[in-house]
Amino acid sequence: MIAQTDLAGSFALHGTSITVNRMGYGAMQLAGPHVFGPPRDTNDAVAVLHEAVESGVNHIDTSDYYGPHVTNQIIKLALHPYPKGLVIVTKLGARRGADASWIPAQSRQELIDGAHDNLKNLGIDALDVVNLRVGGFTEPSEGSIEEP
């Protein structure tokens, strides 16, 4: 997706009616240490989200594999029903192992399941923007992403 910026610092996502402010919030660190498990203090995480939105952030970058599920559940707890104009961007293409490892999840069914997990844990019917995480976690991976 190509973004166009205006002088006020917002971006219109090409081909959509979605506009995001130049500054967004990356929700990865809302989960516990190493992006795994719950945070030390959920109330603090909720307060961070409230402050971000009150400060003019209208773009939250997240994924259901943060936690796993924890970050999206905190976003839902803090902000649902979502304010008009809030754009939630998520990622698919990975999952977390029980040992907190990052595991590629790029088969067609894993991507479908990941989209459904994001919808459920965010409490929404549609995703504004979905990014596909491809490649290895420490180096590029081989193969095509055509099938998924």
Active site amino acids: 66
DSSP 42: H
User: Would you tell me how many other CB atoms lie within 10 Å of the CB of residue 130?
Assistant: 16
* Residue 115, amino acid: A
3 state SS of 91: strand
Q: Which residue(s) pair with 26 in the sheet?
A: 61
Nearest to 86, CA basis, from 26, 28, 20, 27: 20
C-alpha to C-alpha distance for 72 and 119, rounded to whole angstroms: 9
